[in-house]
Structure 1
Amino acid sequence: MKRFLRILLILLILLAAFVLQILHSGGFFRKVVPGFEGNIIQKINLPGAEDIAISREDRFLIVSSDDRASRWGKGKPRQGGLFMIDLSAESFTPKLLTGAFDSPFYPHGISLLRLDSALHQILAINHANGGHTIEVFLLYGDSLVYEKTLADESMISPNDVVAISVNAFYFTNDHRHTSGTWRLMEDYLGLRQSNVVYASGSSYREVDHGIAYANGINYDPTRNLLFVASPRDFLIKVYSVNSQGDLTFIEDIQAGTGVDNIEFDDSGNLWIGAHPNLMKFASYAAGKSEKAPSEVIQVTYRGIGDYEVSSVFLDDGAIISASTVAVPFTNLIFIGNVMDNELVVWKR
């Protein structure tokens, strides 16, 4: 009997340690103390502005907006859209670009590729009709034209996309499993099952795998580096890119928060919207909490082992819940989110 009790006690201790490790790895015990320099100067009425892309040369933003609160809840789903924001204007007013796009459209990650001063390509991940596609658009000035829809069996659970050239791009799958126990285990146990896919023409192939919830992805052509966010592991993966699209892993940047979409500033620093507490984020996304904490980090990456991670914006959800992206422009930072109703403009 005593032996049985000892074994039971050991099992309970191991179970408790396991649960504590899950909570710790998800930021459950982190204390979020709101703080940032500067002021919030505007809140733009756009629901679920999950991703933002910028053209600094042409001074505009493209915003991916999806009213997930209604789509995930009991309300009637509303068509999502891509919006343009003119950065030269005195106040920022979004202009709907996809009003003529008559297919179901619930955009997620986006990528903007400048072809010339008057022409840009936009890739947008679309979660519609129970499946996943990537919609390709051409932007002529401020007029958007639908070009084509890309679909492939490798699009299991696509999250974000980055164009390398007009016919080549990478995207992340944040899960390997689409439903059931295995998907829950990926979420809560942090199983490293997700991947990165490279597409060139009609060819799609996996170029890395074994990532815990592969999320934001972006490419720095100046340094030929690809960055992939793993919010479940609180890190950013760094790769070099070869001429055939294959990746060589360099290192993990320990970010200390649930990193989401990745953007760059003029100096090549990474700006990332993040979730400091993944448990509170999960509760918020499930409609069980009214708010979730937000964070913006800046990462200066100089080379292997030489980087700095700075938390520059931290909020308990009073200003913005579940931040996903932060795009700097001059002294402004545009912060998007999963399913708040407003895109935040922060002036430093």
Structure 2
Amino acid sequence: MKTRVVIALVAVVLGFVIDLLIDAGVFYQVRDINVRQCRKIPGVSGAEDIAPLREGGALVSSMDRHAGPPGALYFVREGQAPLRLPGDYPADFFPHGIDVWQQGGETWVYVVSHRVRGDRIDVFRFERAALRLVYQPGMSRHVGRNINDISVIDRSRWLMTRDHAGAGLAGRIEDYLRLPFSGVLLVDENGVHPLLDGLHFANGIYFDRRLARFYVAETTRGAVSSWAWRPGGGNPVMLGRIDGLRGVDNIMPDGGRLLVAAHPQLLKLAGYEEDARARAPSLVWRLVPGPNGEMERAQMLYQSHGQALAAISVAAPLDGQVMMGSVFDDGLLTCWGL
């Protein structure tokens, strides 16, 4: 009897480990797709996120994560070299996720900053004519820990993802056991409020104001889900979820579609984080939501072994092309005909 129990336990553990390795992409075969339709743009390190602007161009969140802070924001436009924006940056600036709010000719920039004493949303006013940033300490605020991405509802309300409940070793355990301890937070004038929980490494988020719907990426589940939710309304209602996307990261709108960057081999991503000489493959999806919010189709738009740009974390439409950035690598990638 004891022997059978031991065999059964070993079989369960072995099955779990194999399933974990499959999800981590250990057995996944990367093949290059559309790599010849792209060119490298130097001059930006660790471009984790990109925020396109209505008038053209985009803002890029940048920090060299192998060399360390400080970070900065860049202005990019097709045909021009990336420009590091001057401005009164806060003393501790560790930029990660980014979004913008544009209204009445003004542009407000919201940046997730991973400070030592806790995460903060640092807010800037972008002066396009002068190409500079003006820090807004009165609008900036502390938001706890483990904040990953932000999607702005309006000037004073935002959605954010919290990717882990714990930090350090506890966070690693969440990843390896694929525990659903992350979620979505709502920030308004009254504070920070839980909006949605039970997610697996909540990462990128995008709120569609017109449709009153948000999309969230779950990295360790390899899924993107859509939720009906109206600010000031009740709890979010899930409309659909698509799995099998492998290590999804940031989500960007592309007309009525979505661009989703992904990491098809998560263990190689972890290795690249520790060693800049390593490379991690990159993957970009185009998702087509249906009229009721369900995901109708997923198209693999780009994939590479990381030779041009490793560990791509964001893909955004820009001036008729697709611009890609990486959380750990140097440079940007622009691709056409996708």
- What is the TM-score of this pair, normalised by structure 1? 0.90
Q: Hey, what's the Cα distance between the residues in 2 that align with 1:187 and 1:288? A: 22
Tell me which residue corresponds to 1:242.
Answer: 230
> Cα deviation per residue 1:112-154 (whole Å; 9 max; x = unaligned)?
111133x1010001112342101011112222110126334x5
Tell me the equivalent position of 2:96.
108
Alignment match, 2:34: 36
Residues 255 and 309 of structure 1 are in contact (CA less than 8 Å); yes or no, is this contact kept in structure 2?
Answer: no
TM-fit CA distance, 1:253 = 2.1
Unmatched runs of 5 consecutive residues or more in structure 2: none
C-alpha separation in 2, matches of 1:143 and 1:177: 36
Q: Is the 8 A contact 2:259 2:315 kept in 1?
A: yes
Cα separation, 1, equivalents of 2:214 and 2:261 = 17
| 8 Å contact kept, 1:50–1:325 | yes
Q: Does 1:336 align with 2:325?
A: yes
Alignment of 1:1-348 (within 5 A): 3-36=1-34, 39-55=37-53, 57-71=54-68, 78-87=69-78, 91-117=79-105, 119-141=106-128, 142-148=131-137, 150-152=140-142, 155-180=144-169, 182-244=170-232, 246=234, 247-265=236-254, 267-287=255-275, 290-302=278-290, 303-348=292-337
Q: Is the 8 A contact 1:327 1:333 kept in 2?
A: yes
The 2-side partners of 1:234 and 1:98 are apart by 37
Match for 2:95: what amino acid? P
**C-alpha deviations, 1:221-277, integer Å up to 9, x for none?**
222210111011111121112231642222212252211111111x22100111011
**Contact 1:175-1:213 within 8 A present in 2 as well:** yes
Structure 2: how far apart are the matches of 1:140 and 1:43? 24
Helix, strand or coil at the partner of 1:232: coil
Task: Give distance in 2, aligned partners of 1:159 and 1:235.
Answer: 16
For 2:48 and 2:133, locate their aligned partners in 1 and report how far apart those are by CA, in whole Å: 20
**Quick one: distance in 2 between partners of 1:295 and 1:306?**
18
Root-mean-square deviation (Å): 1.9
CA 1:245 to 1:317, structure 2 compared with 1: closer, same or farther past 3 Å? farther
Kept after mapping to 2: 8 A contact 1:260/1:274: yes
Tell me the amino acid that sits aligned with residue 152 of structure 2.
Answer: A
Distance in 2 between the 1:21 and 1:128 partners? Answer: 35
Give how far 1:332 is off: 1.4
1:306 & 1:18 partners in 2: Cα distance? 28
5+ residue gaps, structure 1: 72-77
How many angstroms does 1:68 deviate by?
0.4
Q: Deviations over 1:132-190 (max 9, x none)?
A: 101011112222110126334x522000001110111111111111233x322211111
CA separation of 1:81/1:334 partners in 2, compared to 1, >3 Å: closer, same or farther?
Answer: same
